[in-house]
Amino acid sequence: MDNGADFVKMVIERIREKETTRREKQRMCNKQWIENHRDRHNANVSKNNAKLRLQCLQHYCGSEVPFCQCPGCRETTIQFLTIDHINGGGTQHFKEVGGGTNFYNWLKRNNYPDGFQVLCMNCNHAKGHYGKCPHKERAELIEIALTFEG
């Protein structure tokens, strides 16, 4: 019985060695291809990152065309939009998962969890530094004024 178990261990070890060698060869081929086609590789990475970011923005807006969800803003320029942590904690979260593409990958891997919204950079900055965006404050004042009129 011992010989059979030893044989199985030996076969498994050989398979692991071959797989490790195969992976290393593939890694080297990939690395060489990237070195030889740097511009093409960078373009593909940029395209894939932009596509992932757009998917995240679309998901959190619930719309094909992403927009700032701050009342009174409605910015739609993709380059100006970002994902906001509704209850704060974005800085700590970025330290844990990384920013940029790492963050968008995290959102997708975790099935787009609740607690996030799309804001433009201006609204996100104002919310982070002043507690709320001037657009929201203006919308609240308008709402109060309308209730007194009616």
pTM, 2 dp: 0.74
**CA gap 59, 110 in Å, rounded:** 13
**CA gap 48, 33 in Å, rounded:** 18
What pLDDT, in 10s, does the model give residues 78-105?
999 999 999 989 889 989 999 889 999 9
Q: Which residue has the higher pLDDT, 121 or 143?
A: 121
* 145 DSSP β-pair partners: none
What pLDDT, in 10s, does the model give residues 118-137?
999 999 999 988 888 888 77
What proportion of the chain, given as a percentage, has pLDDT over 90?
Answer: 54
DSSP helix/strand/coil, 83: strand
Pairing of strands 116-120, 81-85: antiparallel
